[in-house]
């Protein structure tokens, strides 16, 4: 087996075991697209782990950044992701700046996070999620640049959903992603988030943030018509999984402190089947 085949096989294993939501949508793609998605996911999963794992530090992220720059030029360290990553980036013409922006976003998570304004939060969402959307639509295929800002908004919608789902876990790690201007507006404190205080003020705040996320889903919906037809079921499934997750958060009356809101494997499988036949 060639080095490239071994690399793609490694990326597939990572995607199967770690991509709780993304992997289901990969199943609706062609074999080459699916391999490419797994390669990009494996790279981004490792990036994210560098800021979340115990002992995370800037030195490790800087080392990963340097290895990435080498890999983009076709020179690989011993990490198994690089041959598949390099092959995918070249094959689909993915701009290198997206990967640099994501590492910048991940590196910022090493420090306790606070955002004063939504504009600051939006920039963070762009770095860690919109760049994922901008990368993957190159694999989906698109013919007009008007797809790019829609992919950006779709990524923001996904990340806002993640933030609402993970409020308790993030607060425990010193990360408060909801903007201070919103907390002040609704009378919610950081201590409320850390202690799991589901007050009326918290519920109003969550309703506001949920509607904001929903607006980004709505704004990005035309993206489905702008990517290549063969790829549309995959993107439709991915959007459905994340928007259903937001619905589940809303349906629980924002009870995000007791347990992590999630979809079952059966629910995600049904979404994939429906996307395939619609």
Do 9 and 51 contact (CB within 8 A), yes or no? no
- Nearest-5° angle of CA 188, CA 185, CA 162? 65
pTM, entire model: 0.93
Structure tokens belonging to residue 235 = 């993107």
| Close Cβ partners of 55 (under 8 Å, ≥ 6 residues apart) | none
Residue 148, pLDDT > 80, answer yes
In DSSP notation, 179-220 reads -HHHHHHHT--HHHHHHT---HHHHHHHHHHHHHHHHHHHHH
Q: What is the pLDDT of residue 99?
A: 96
Cβ density class 2-22: b for 16+ within 10 Å, e for less: eeeeebbebbbebbeeebebb
pLDDT surpasses 70 at 192: yes
> In this predicted model, what pLDDT tens digit does every residue of 83-120 receive, in sequence order?
999 999 999 999 999 999 999 988 887 776 789 999 99
Asked if residue 52 has pLDDT above 90, the reply is no
Task: Kindly report the average pLDDT of the chain as a whole number.
Answer: 93
pLDDT at 53 over 80: no
Number of Cβ within 10 Å of residue 182's Cβ equals 17
Q: Examine the pLDDT at 55 and tell me if it is beyond 70.
A: no
Average the pLDDT over each of 136-145, 148-157, 254-263 and give the range with the smallest value: 254-263
């Amino acid at each position: 087996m060639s080095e490239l085949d071994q690399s793609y096989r490694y990326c597939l294993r990572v995607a199967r075991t770690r991509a709780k939501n993304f992997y289901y949508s990969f199943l609706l793609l062609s074999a080459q697209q699916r391999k490419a998605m797994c390669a990009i996911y494996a790279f981004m999963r490792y990036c994210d782990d560098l800021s979340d794992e115990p002992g995370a530090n800037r030195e490790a992220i800087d080392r990963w950044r340097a290895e990435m720059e080498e890999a983009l030029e076709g020179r690989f360290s011993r990490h198994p992701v690089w041959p598949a990553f390099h092959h995918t980036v070249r094959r689909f013409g993915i701009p290198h700046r997206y990967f640099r922006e994501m590492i910048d976003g991940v590196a910022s998570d090493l420090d306790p996070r606070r955002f004063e304004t939504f504009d600051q939060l939006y920039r963070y969402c762009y770095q860690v999620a919109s760049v994922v959307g901008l990368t993957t639509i190159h694999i989906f295929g698109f013919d007009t640049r008007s797809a790019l800002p829609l992919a950006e908004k779709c990524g923001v919608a996904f990340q806002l959903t993640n933030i609402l789902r993970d409020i308790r876990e993030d607060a425990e790690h010193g990360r408060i992603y909801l903007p201070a201007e919103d907390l002040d507006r609704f009378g919610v404190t950081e201590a409320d988030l850390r202690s799991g205080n589901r007050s009326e003020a918290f519920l109003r705040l969550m309703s506001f943030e949920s509607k904001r996320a929903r607006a980004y889903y709505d704004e990005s919906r035309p993206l489905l018509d702008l990517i290549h037809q063969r790829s549309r079921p995959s993107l439709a499934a991915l959007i459905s999984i994340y928007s259903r997750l937001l619905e589940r958060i809303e349906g629980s009356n924002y009870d995000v402190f007791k347990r992590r809101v999630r979809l079952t494997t059966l629910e995600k499988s049904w979404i994939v089947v429906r996307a395939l036949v619609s």
